[in-house]
Structure 1
Amino acid sequence: MNYIKIFITLFAVLCGGIFNGTALAQFNQTILFVPHDNRPISFMQTVSNIRALGYNVITPPENLLGNRDDLGHPDALAKWVSENAEKADFAVLSADSLVYGSLVASRKHDIPADVLQQRAAASFAELHQKYPYLPIYVFGSIMRTPQTSAASSEEPEYYRLYGTMIARYTALLDKREKDGLKGGERQELANLEKSIPQTAINDWMARRAGNFEVNKYLITLTQNKDISYLVLGCDDNAPYSQTDKERRELDKYAGQLEADKYQSVAGLDELGMILLTRAVNELEGDIPFVNVHYAEGRGADTIPAYSNEPIKDSVRTHIKLAGGLQVNTAKRADLVLLLNTDKNGITYAANDPGNTTELRANTASFADMAGKYLKEEKNVGIADIDFGNGSDNALMNLLWQRGYLPKLKAYAGWNTPTNSSGYAIGLGMLSSYTNQQNTIKMLIPRYLDEWLYQANIRQQVANKLGSFKGEGDYGDTKTRNAQAQEYATELMRQDIIKYGLDKLPGEAALDRAEVRFPWHRLFEAEVIIPEK
């Protein structure tokens, strides 16, 4: 018996720790959840993991959530939350959805400051007054700083022209504040100030200032105990950036708020999964122990793309956010988390031609490490962050050859590295509450999305898109969307059979899986898995 874990868990419960007095008093086994948009990974893929454990997750009608074109309906969402919260043991709520309408809306809105304040008060302070015993977990974004103009589809129109310069300009301002500038950098800053239209920089900074005040208000609500737990995530970020500057200032404003009440973290899209996992851990009355290991090379000190800190710091924070505890040995760990990092600490793009099945310097040794812990019958999870937005083909091919894929407890390799590591932590913790067949059901969407689609099929569809009738490209498939979906579905079914994924327990229906592009772009896909 793990007496150390029992003692720590009881101590946390008695002292208020990560629990809010609900862990030992389970009611409806129900969590109310509002995501920050309707993307599959943000919404139903995450929800399905919680439901697989037998929990009831109440979600709003999808037409109230934001998407690429519809920026959301925050007032209707707040009304829905207020009307449904009485059914829940926990509420996990996106501040971006309830204040701005959606994550994309938070970057493009022109909403007056007083309206933002009123929405935040109605969504959280008034909700707490109405349901004083309901733990309210809130996750919000510290507005991102895209490093290039390529991200312009989710930014104001001027970012398409000046985004790269705006990112560099604010990075130099941040560096000047933190470390000082060299002579050439001072001149570069002056040149950028002249090159960026004042109207563009004024608009961008004014919106940021408004969002910053909303985040300060959310911290105040947390200090007043209207919000039980607040997490502010840094969307696309860098060590020198306006996002990192605002994070530092918000952390300072939070002051002495306990770590079990407030946290900022690198990463954002994974936070819904992380806080849902925290709620489950509280309902289960458990604090999962997580032992962490990295691939050979730079490993734990890797500063991945879209982040401002070493991955070891993000992982430690994500474990804490999810209600777990990082431990130094695998002996008593509930989860052994392995992070696949590039030997030199570089994040590549998963759709890059270099992402092949040819083994790299540390691929075999990483697979050997996974095999070692699987042989010891440990619960093994893998965060595949060598590449951004997709799996490492060499690693996945090797894990498949060795028969490790159906034995894992968690896997993630989507979007940014911190998205993947956070999601893998949540998935690994949740898997301890169910059997391996249910765990496989949670793993399959990750294998189909990150490995088969993102790292392979995505580029094949992109290469053929121009030959389809109609109009459309990678970023907006337009009238070619149906043809792209049909071709991606054909490739997906071929790969499912090739790798025998339809032969896994309970997965015979996989050979009828379908691929959809709900946001009419190839960057993300929804893989629909039919019932038996």
Structure 2
Amino acid sequence: MEKWRIMYIPLDERPCNYEFPKMIIDISDIDMIRPPKEILGCKKKPADVDKLWEWMRQNIEGITHLVVSIDMLVYGGIVPSRIHQKQVEECLSKLLRLRELKKANNNLKIFAFNLIVRTPSYNSSEEEPDYYKEFGERIFRFGAFTDKIDLNIATEEEIKEFNALKREIPEEILEDYLRRREVNHKINLSVVDLVKENVIDFLIIPMDDSSKYGFSPMERRKIMKYIDELDLTDRIYSYPGADEVGCTLTARAFNDIKGVKPAVFTRYSSENGKNVIPLLEDRRLGETVKYQIIAGGGIVTEDSEKADFILMINPPSEITQQIGDSWNSYLTRRDVGDPERNLNEFVEAIKDYIEKGKNCSVADVAFLNGADNSLMKLIKKYGLFKKVLSYGGWNTSANTLGTVIAHSMVSSFYINRDNFTEDRKERSYRFLFLRYLEDWGYQYEVRTKVAKEIDKYGVSYFDLGEKEKIISEVIKGELEKFKKENLNEFDYEFDVYMPWNRLFEVGIEVKK
């Protein structure tokens, strides 16, 4: 029997990009290879793109599917894509290497993704150019007004503020920012050309941390117009997301290899939920959900009886969005009795589906950056932790959806064919446990607790300095307490590290 092999080039070296797709595909009988982590850079330090290319070239033989981040291949990662000083020609020379891979391996299918670079609405140089610390919020507003002027919907007051911002932001800063966006935009268009050439078989252009108006939606309109002119709308999707797309395209490769199109039935904890526009996204949740499913190679079904799995979605509401609308609120988040969401009926429905033999997964997107504690306590009370097929509640709505859908697609394939071996079940449980521990344990509870005490270590939330190992041990101790109180039915040990030496995200290595 032919052995199917996926080569995976991640967006960056953080666990969500480097580890999650591998953990998901390891549930299957398909091999995945990844480049050595040490050549992938770290945060603002770009990957060694030439070493990465050499590794790809040397290992392409026998690979059936390449899942590749263009931002990694061209710029050396997600953050380097926002701060580089490269010219179009240099970037294009890196991009066009994909042609060589296709020539070297005629059977290769390439599933690629490249981001429309974000424009954060706040002052911070944490993942942006240094000047964003002072001018970030003004650059964001300048972009929003630029877009409205382009659409001919700007008010006189907005045009006046646009002109004022143009005077306030130093010319050299604006030039640097817009020049880089223009380079990235031209590369995005060149990636579309590679789809037209049949070098790339399928492409996702995710909207990274987007909004209704701004530079990102402006660029997206131009790209989508170009895609439409080339008649490629069936092979190129664009929707909100970033760090989950490696999982999404891994699931797509899996489904392509297996020759299946999993049917997904969706259900919400709120009737209005699918019409909410989540924070950092540009459209209603229900439309993004549909894109996430078809991007992974599935199809939405209106009949739960015909579904390969049920996707239960706990959406945001006006109240949860207000709670999550400032950074401080992430660190002081409280439980909320939200009348817009019926969590009792939601969990009863999960229980009912499971008792009827349905695969049931939970996408917990009510809050930005972590689980809904009220929901998790109910799931615990109903004894459903190990009965749920997949769970996610991390970072943005799109991040959670893509991860949960990918995990569910792979595991449900084997369950529905009575081939969910003990080894596959264990690997699936391991990823499920990781999501509970990270999204609920760390993002909701432990991160908040440690952040409140971080000053006593002489470091800050976004820079742990030389104290990373000490703080990792503190976090591990807190997570072990959390596991004992809430997740003791999972018999796993784990280690903890901080991938970007800050508290925002955590690295958890679950031991077999």
TM bucket normalised to smaller: over 0.9
Gaps of 5+ in 2: 415-419
SS at match of 1:528: strand
Higher relative contact order (CA 8 A, sep 6+): 2
Alignment correspondent of 1:289: 263
Is 428-437 or 275-284 further displaced after alignment? 428-437
Matched, 1:50 2:25: yes
Alignment correspondent of 1:306: 280
- Structure 2 matches for 1:426-441, cutoff 5 A? 426-434=406-414, 435=420, 436-441=425-430
SS at match of 1:503: coil
Shift of 1:377: 2.1
**Identical-pair percentage:** 29
Counterpart of 1:396 (choices 376, 379, 399) is 376
Shift of 1:110: 0.5
**Aligned 8 A contact 1:294 1:338 in 2:** yes
Shift of 1:297: 4.5
The letter for the 1-side match of 2:274 is A
Counterpart of 2:476 (choices 489, 492, 495) is 489
| CA 315–190 in structure 1, closer or farther in 2 if over 3 Å, else same | same
Q: Distance in 1 between matches of 2:233 and 2:301?
A: 18
Alignment correspondent of 1:373: 353
Counterpart of 2:99 (choices 125, 128, 132) is 125
Q: Distance in 2 between matches of 1:199 and 1:171?
A: 20
Matched, 1:364 2:353: no
Q: Distance in 2 between matches of 1:179 and 1:447?
A: 46
Counterpart of 2:332 (choices 348, 353, 366) is 353
SS at match of 2:280: coil
The letter for the 1-side match of 2:193 is T
Counterpart of 1:453 (choices 425, 437, 442) is 442
Counterpart of 2:455 (choices 447, 461, 466) is 466
Q: Distance in 2 between matches of 1:70 and 1:395?
A: 39
**Aligned 8 A contact 1:351 1:458 in 2:** no
The letter for the 2-side match of 1:62 is K
Q: Distance in 1 between matches of 2:214 and 2:347?
A: 36
Matched, 1:503 2:489: yes
- Work out the number of aligned pairs and report it: 496
- Structure 2 matches for 1:196-345, cutoff 5 A? 196-255=169-228, 256-344=230-318
Alignment correspondent of 1:21: none
- RMSD, aligned CA: 1.7
Instruction: Return the TM-score normalized by structure 2.
Output: 0.93
Shift of 1:179: 5.0
Shift of 1:359: 7.0
SS at match of 2:164: helix
Q: Distance in 2 between matches of 1:474 and 1:359?
A: 30
Shift of 1:357: 7.5
Shift of 1:437: 4.0
**Aligned 8 A contact 2:280 2:396 in 1:** yes
Alignment correspondent of 2:432: 443
**Aligned 8 A contact 1:30 1:57 in 2:** yes
Q: Distance in 2 between matches of 1:374 and 1:71?
A: 45
Q: Distance in 2 between matches of 1:355 and 1:31?
A: 42
Q: Distance in 1 between matches of 2:466 and 2:336?
A: 34
Counterpart of 1:173 (choices 146, 166, 174) is 146
| CA 283–142 in structure 1, closer or farther in 2 if over 3 Å, else same | same
Instruction: Return the TM-score normalized by structure 1.
Output: 0.90
**Aligned 8 A contact 1:36 1:65 in 2:** no
The letter for the 1-side match of 2:223 is L
Alignment correspondent of 1:97: 72
Shift of 1:64: 1.4
**Aligned 8 A contact 1:327 1:333 in 2:** yes
Shift of 1:328: 1.0
Gaps of 5+ in 1: 1-25
**Aligned 8 A contact 1:318 1:422 in 2:** yes
| CA 243–491 in structure 1, closer or farther in 2 if over 3 Å, else same | same
